[in-house]
Structure 1
Amino acid sequence: MRKIKRYHPLIMLFDISQLIKNAIFLVISLSMLKFASQSSYSIIGKALFFSIFAMSAISIILKWFTHKYKIDDACFHIYNGFLSKTVQTIPFTKIQNINRHASLLHRIFNVTSISFETSMTGEGSSIKFEVISKSEADRMEALVRDQLITIKSQQGILSEVNVLGKMNHQNRTIHFKPQKKDIIKASLTSLSFLACIPLLGSFFLKINEFLDLEKIITEIARGSIGAVILIIVFTILFSAIFGIVTTYLKYGNYKISSDDRYIHITKGIVEQTAYSISKEKVQAIEVKQTIMKRLLGLAEVKLTCVADLSSEENKHEIHSLYPYLPVQRAYEIVSEMLPSYEVSQKMSCLPKRFFWVRLIGQSWLWIIAIFLLYYNKISFYKIENLWVLSVILFIFFILLRIQGFFQTRFALNSHFIQFKKGYLTTSLFVSKREKIIEVSISQSFIQRRLGLASITTSNRAKPIHFAGVDDVPAEFASSVYHWYLKRQKEFN
């Protein structure tokens, strides 16, 4: 039985630095409300502010003395509380994913943070060590993975090779590292270069208060066209460099790798983050493309997993392998990392004889809206402009429906189902029969008359992931229904 430990003492420094950061923001906000005045309210406010700050600093120190943890061969034991003490026990078997993150402050002190995500819900759904030495983090990760592999081997789930090579997670296969051309494509696709426009605008306004830049630029524009062109070229170059640099800082050190059981993702130049996703917990694969990505031949591969991988703000990035993968390489990486998944390039299209169904569907809503606007004399400046706007919107709507029809695809084989759909952004969904928890077949009145149906699948995730396709032939929907019924035989 291992002894109870306190958390790393540097956690107090990290918490206090965060407290100071929040306090500075509060002071700046209060200064705008004459916080520095000598009124009675201001004096009371200052006293209250410094009292709360002091109490928060003391609580951080007390927290370090009272919050402890212990790790044995099978569980985490978390001890919290000062007056009222609680003990939380989390078995290694409940852990689904392991995530690491190192901010600039972590890197300065050569420490890291590590969190263990579980399949449970609620307050105890994850264990996070905000500051911990890298050696201790490695030891925790090895303990968890070795225990899980031992249990699987005892259940006969892992092969002998995997049991003997249970430390093979150190020998990872690298599938993708972005090159210079990938960074440039990513900066163009993400439009990160546009982020400098508000910065330049803010800089211009600040300088304009002292130098009257607006007048200077106007005089330059009148005197020389070449100077104006030079300013425009400089702005474009600055924006391009800004976009490339910001993209590099975010994705320059990106790496996708895997071992026998986990998919590993690392990223970050200044702040470094690492994620590990259990392969057996992957429920589905989704390949998404925006218009810009389709033009540049890029795609984003997202994984639907059983456990929540992180907090809401990082959820999208963690599920994504890499947002700007070359399309063909994306399919190859999926096959390399998850050989049990198959992505078929051959898919069936929607019957062309029912093209008009997609074209007319939901158009009546647009017609009613335009009628109400006209009937009630609601105009956009002038009624003529409203009709011009409505015609433009109607054409745009029709083009979207046409694009959506021809981009809808579907396929079914012995163990997989996949379908593709979308308008401006397309999404290709692939899942195995054993990973799908429910299949729903529905038909509207018009669909029944035309022999069409809609399919919706559900995969286990947080929250439950729904995917589906509309207006497929009823025969295909029936095939999907009987295909899914065979799932019961696989588990019997």
Structure 2
Amino acid sequence: MQSKRMHPLMIASSILRSIKDLFFLILILFVINIGSTSTWVVIGRYILIAIFILLIITAIVAWFRTSYEVKEKSIVIRQGAFVIKQRYLPFDRVQNVKTNTPFYFRFLNVTSLILETGSGGDDASFTFPALHLADAEKIESTIDRFRKTGHTTEQVEGQQAIAVTSQSENERNIEMEQKHSERRIHFSPTRKDVLKASILSASYIVLIPIMLSIFQQIDSVYDIDTYLEDGFQFISNSWMVLAIAITLIILASITFGVIQTFLKYGKYEIASDEERIYISQGVLSEKNFSIRKKNVQAIEMRQSILKRLLGLTSVKLISAGEMDLSGDPVNSLYPFLPTKRALSLVEELLPGFEITTKMERMPTSSLVARMLHIPWIWIIATGVILYFFPEWWWTSIVLLILNIVGRYLDYRFAKFTINGSFIQLQTGGWEITTLVTQRHKAIEFSVEENIIQRRLGLITVKTSNRGKPVYVKTLADIPASMANEAYYWYKQ
């Protein structure tokens, strides 16, 4: 295959990111101070314009000099604006595939493709910033066919070329529909689920810090304290105006939360076929994640206090190529699933994974060991409070009570079990985390003990799974008999 460039929308995407990074400077220099002739404003405008022009030139040059080439058993990516960097990716190193399609990409059938590997550093992932959907699907299908049949890329391309010349556009659409029809949809949230998610995610609270941040940025160059004080005084003088203002703020926050949650989970879908698990989310900007079932290293289940009370659980797939897109963990299953449904969903997606609800609790000696640990954080916090805020001395007592309760909850919910070739570790008090992994997928298993544990016959165990970073799970203060059993289990 000949070398191909990215879609020209790569330039637009780069420029939009630059505008986002410079947003507050643009707001200050060209909106808030639109009529100002101050020296610092004029100089700032010229500097900002020069920076923006340089960024545009860089984006154009980077697009012109960025290309990729699909070879026999690999992909070669050349990228960079003024310094070209060539990267080589063998097909057999691809662990996961992700796509990120912002709303301005969707209108032109363009997406961003990310191929994740099991490596670290610069080779952790290979990103194609802007590809036509057909090219992205061709790359993904080429990798899949290579793994399934062992055919070289050139052979696959020859087959695809013959197919393209012999099929009409409608026939290719039918073929794509048949490919997607092989997938089984396991979960798609209802409107009730989305509404519940908007309440439980507390996304409506995000509006408050956003507004405060905007006011801070504006106030740093333009004094608005007087206007805010006048407005606050006007509202506080009348209980009716105050009630209306509070109601409007609450309604605006709830509306913001519902809209934000809908845009994120409105088209959420979990599906699978014989080899892969597919997770998609997003209404305006779409994100897709696919992982080969055999690449799932472990399952992590989490329950906060609120989720525990409501019987909900979030499930995350731990994999060697684990990466987040824009801070959102796409490889997490729907985070507000009923616990029973979450367990059954894992069984549907990964029939080989066995999760048991029967786990062994820790003995009383484990609680004693936890209580004997020196509370360094509480000691430091108490010192800071007594030195700087002596009138708040009582908060030290509250922190101590929370520390003791937290240790008890850690003991209460700490559990362990070995189920055939699987091991389950459960930790946490305020938030419970359960790890389920197989013996051959744990890259390391270690045991350690301190003086207190040695006296009480307890040991700390650690398991490690491939991930970015390496996923390490620690369960402290378990009986030595359990730890020895787990150690010999791992050595088998």
Which TM-score band applies after superposition, normalised by the shorter structure? 0.7 to 0.9
Partners of 1:73 and 1:147 within 8 A in 2: no
Q: TM-score, normalised by structure 2?
A: 0.82
| 1:308–1:44 distance in 2 versus 1, CA, 3 Å | same
Residue equivalent to 2:189: 178
| Shift of residue 83, structure 1, vs aligned partner | 7.8
Distance change (3 Å), C-alpha of 1:171 and 1:220: same
Equivalent position SS for 2:287: strand
- Superposed, 1:8-19 pairs within 5 Å as 8-19=7-18
Q: How many Å separate the matches in 1 of 2:79 and 2:475?
A: 48
Matches within 5 A, 1:121-200: 121-151=120-150, 171-198=182-209
Q: So what's the TM-score if we normalise by structure 1?
A: 0.82
Which of the residues 340, 343, 347 maps onto 2:355?
343
**Shift of residue 395, structure 1, vs aligned partner:** 2.4
Return the letter of the residue paired with 2:425: F
Shift of 1:62: 3.2
Q: Which residue of 2 aligns with 1:359?
A: 371
The residue that corresponds to 2:171 in the other structure is none
Asked if 1:485 is matched to 2:484, the reply is no
**Residue deviations 1:359-403 (CA, integer Å, cap 9, x gap):** 333358857986x789xx747444xx52x3333333222222222
SS in 1 for 2:260: helix
1:159-210 per-position Cα deviation (integer Å, ceiling 9, x unaligned): xxxxxxxx9665111111112222222222221122234567779x989939
Which residue, 340, 349, 365 being the options, matches 1:328? 340
Cα deviation, residue 140, structure 1: 1.4
Following superposition of structure 1 onto structure 2, how do residues 271-350 of structure 1 map, counting pairs within 5 Å?
A: 271-310=285-324, 313-314=326-327, 317-350=329-362
Deviations 1:287-343 (A, max 9, x none): 0111111122211111221124346x43x5123122222111111111111111111
- Note the residue ranges of structure 2 that are not aligned, 5 or more in a row: 152-177
Between the aligned partners of 1:91 and 1:474, the Cα distance in structure 2 is 45
Other-structure match for 1:217: 235
Task: Find the counterpart in structure 1 of residue 159 from structure 2.
Answer: none
Task: Tell me the secondary structure at the aligned position of residue 182 of structure 1.
Answer: helix
- Residue 417 of structure 1: how far off its partner (Å): 0.7
1:169–1:260: 8 Å Cα contact kept in structure 2?
A: no
Q: Secondary structure at the match of 1:346?
A: coil
CA deviation after TM superposition for structure 1 residue 92, in Å: 1.3
3-state SS, counterpart of residue 132 of structure 1: strand
CA distance 1:99–1:83, shift in 2 (3 Å): closer
Counterpart residue identity of residue 182, structure 1: D
Q: Which amino acid aligns with 1:396?
A: L
Q: How do 1:32-181 and structure 2 match up within 5 A? A: 37=37, 49-80=48-79, 87-151=86-150, 171-181=182-192
Q: Give the % identical residues.
A: 34
Deviates more, 1:316-325 or 1:341-350: 316-325
Cα distance in structure 2, aligned partners of 1:336 and 1:94: 26
* 1:140 to 1:214, Cα distance in 2 relative to 1, 3 A: same
Partner SS, residue 265 of structure 1: strand
Change (3 A) 1:208 1:330: farther
Q: Select the structure of larger CA radius of gyration.
A: 1
> Residues of 1 paired with 2:122 and 2:351: CA distance?
35
> Quick check: 2:235–2:245 contact (8 Å CA) kept in 1?
no
Bigger mean CA offset, 316-325 vs 248-257: 316-325
Aligned in 2, Cα 1:289/1:23: closer, same or farther, shift over 3 Å? closer
Amino acid at match of 1:172: R
Counterpart for residue 264 of structure 2: 250
Unpaired segments ≥5 residues, structure 1: 153-166, 487-492
Partner of 2:277: 263
Q: CA RMSD in A?
A: 3.5
